[in-house]
Amino acid sequence: MTALDLSSPVAVVGTGTMGQGIAQVALVAGHPVRLYDAAPDLARKAADAIGSRLDRLVEKERLTADERDAARARLTPVDDLSGLAGCSLVVEAVVERLDVKQELFRALEDVVADDCLLATNTSSLSVTAIGGALRVPGRFVGLHFFNPAPLLPLVEVVSGFATDVASATRAYETARAWGKTPVACADTPGFIVNRVARPFYAEAFAVYETQGADPATIDAVLRESGGFRMGAFELTDLIGQDVNESVTHSVWQAFFQDVRFRPSLAQRRLVESGRLGRKTGRGWYDHREGAERPEPHTAEPAEPPAYVIAEGGLGPAAELLDLIREAGIEVREAEEDEGTRLALPSGGQLVLADGQLSAEFADVVYFDLALDYRRATRIALSHAGHTSAETVAQATGLFQALGKKVSVIGDVPGMIVARTVARIIDLAVEAVAQGVATEEDVDTAMRLGVNYPLGPFEWSRRLGRGWAGALLDEMHEVDPCGRYAPSLALYRYACATDQREDTP
């Protein structure tokens, strides 16, 4: 099954920001496009707005004037659903209410031919439920674009329970012909991106709620150590706290209130107070004119230790040993050849985040995971109240000697980056095991849909198959609420090898 022919008319129902964006994508690809909105005159206003965007594309030399004029000629606002007769694809982008969408598609079936592909752009509702009442449910599919649709490349092509393979394939190939990067997925709550991304927000909020660190510090660690483009607090302020919380709540409910997807009470209070982020001027941060952005906590300068003792190769943090030597600090090798620890002259230890608490040990400072320890500009440290001041100072001075800013946070298991990445890997592995998508499509979706520096399986290959499960096991031991219990899928994934030589 191939993509729709460019002569085939495409309709978009719902002319808000997303609807206009999808219409522009189809229009620039070369299709005749029809716009419909139930509210009077909105379709015509949307056509004018799209025309203005085409003008800007000409100014930026992304379209020629002739291409713009041809595209405008192919764009037609209509006043009634009957004006969509003869379309080969209808994409819906109306309000996120199941009853509204179901009613719309039932009405569309009376207008379009039985071979017309029907698609919803829903981000949180069940594709199966929306299309369940249709006379021809096999031609119904999810086409989840990301905002802004003309700029972001990812499209999740979602097959509902009744979706025909031919319909899903045609939708996939059409999205690709429009210059997008489609990924195929089954109809699961949140699809790929909104399912796998929940821990990015949830773990940041959890660290904040336990007073482990403030929003500015958590965001800085996620960016400067984890390599994420934005931190969770600034990103949800951009998205809108109400929008982000609504998606989280929808996924949580759809998974029968699974504790792993539990919404944040702190975010709930933010929404209740009307602090929705940039669009209202205040969210986690104050975005009003003249407001000062809070600075992340950064430790004062400290003296580095004269030497460290490497008790093992440091695992995922192995490159630190070279950085320490390059900084002129002696690295002594311990007799043990396994571990993720550095012994300090104080007698204390510096340990890579492993899901345990500093409070469990006599004199331990934990350091957080980094995407790339050489390029990272900030490292988080955590310690207990009884950890010696000398050990904390030597750990701080060590990373400062490597050219890093240091943020000292509370004694939280898994710290910030490590717990976030581990939980993302767990949900990704479980999604693949349940047939939601392939490993490749999950990685593509997370990199392109939310700009992650690595896809979950890319992270896992770098850290080791067993890393996420081991960290989550320790977190579950500390906090046995079920939120951090590794999935059975992750356990199987960690046990898998190219060849199993052992027999029971």
Mean pLDDT of 389-401: 98
The residues that bridge with 380 in the sheet, in sequence order, are 407
Distances (CA, A) of 344 to 129, 306, 308, 379, 409: 59, 9, 5, 17, 20
- 300 among known catalytic residues: no
Band of residue 337 on the pLDDT scale cut at 50, 70, 90? low
pLDDT at 391 over 90: yes
- 234 among known catalytic residues: no
Residues 300, 110: Cα–Cα separation, whole Å: 69
Of the residues 156, 203, 245, 474, only one is catalytic, namely 156
Mention every residue, 6+ apart, whose C-beta is less than 8 A from residue 78: 34, 35, 36, 43, 84
Residues 72, 316: Cα–Cα separation, whole Å: 54
Burial of 244 (0-12, 13-18, 19+ CB in 10 A): buried
**φ/ψ bin of 496: left (φ > 0), alpha (ψ from -120 to 50), beta (otherwise):** beta
- The pLDDT value recorded for residue 91 is 98
Distances (CA, A) of 427 to 6, 23, 222, 245: 38, 33, 19, 19
The residues that bridge with 33 in the sheet, in sequence order, are 10, 75
Single out the residue of 360, 370, 468, 469 nearest to residue 411, CA to CA: 360
Band of residue 313 on the pLDDT scale cut at 50, 70, 90? confident
- The pLDDT value recorded for residue 338 is 63
**Residues 47-92 pLDDT 10s:** 999 999 999 999 999 999 999 999 999 999 999 999 999 999 999 9
Which residue is associated with the tokens 């012994």? Answer: 343
Global pTM value: 0.95
Mean pLDDT of 147-158: 96
Mean pLDDT of 113-125: 95
At position 295, the amino acid (one-letter code) is E
- The pLDDT value recorded for residue 350 is 97
Single out the residue of 371, 367, 422 nearest to residue 400, CA to CA: 367
Order of strands across the sheet with 307-311? 330-333, 307-311, 341-343, 349-352, 364-367, 378-383, 405-409
Distances (CA, A) of 109 to 66, 168, 277: 36, 18, 39
Question: Strand runs (DSSP E) across 94-136, as ranges?
Answer: 117-120
Mean pLDDT of 101-113: 96
Of the residues 144, 287, 297, 383, only one is catalytic, namely 144
- 297 among known catalytic residues: no
- 123 among known catalytic residues: yes
Band of residue 499 on the pLDDT scale cut at 50, 70, 90? very low
- The pLDDT value recorded for residue 246 is 93
Mean pLDDT of 216-232: 98
The residues that bridge with 183 in the sheet, in sequence order, are 156
DSSP conformation class of 110: T
Of the residues 8, 88, 167, 194, only one is catalytic, namely 194
| Total residues belonging to the chain | 504
Mean pLDDT of 133-139: 93
Single out the residue of 209, 207, 329 nearest to residue 269, CA to CA: 209
Residues 504, 494: Cα–Cα separation, whole Å: 18
Task: Report the mean per-residue pLDDT for the chain.
Answer: 95
Of the residues 88, 123, 159, 460, only one is catalytic, namely 123
Band of residue 496 on the pLDDT scale cut at 50, 70, 90? confident
Mean pLDDT of 17-23: 96
Which residue is associated with the tokens 């400072």? Answer: 365
Percent of the chain surpassing pLDDT 70 = 97
**Residues 363-385 pLDDT 10s:** 999 999 999 999 999 999 999 99
**Residues 444-493 pLDDT 10s:** 999 999 999 999 999 999 999 999 999 999 999 999 999 999 999 999 99
- The pLDDT value recorded for residue 503 is 42
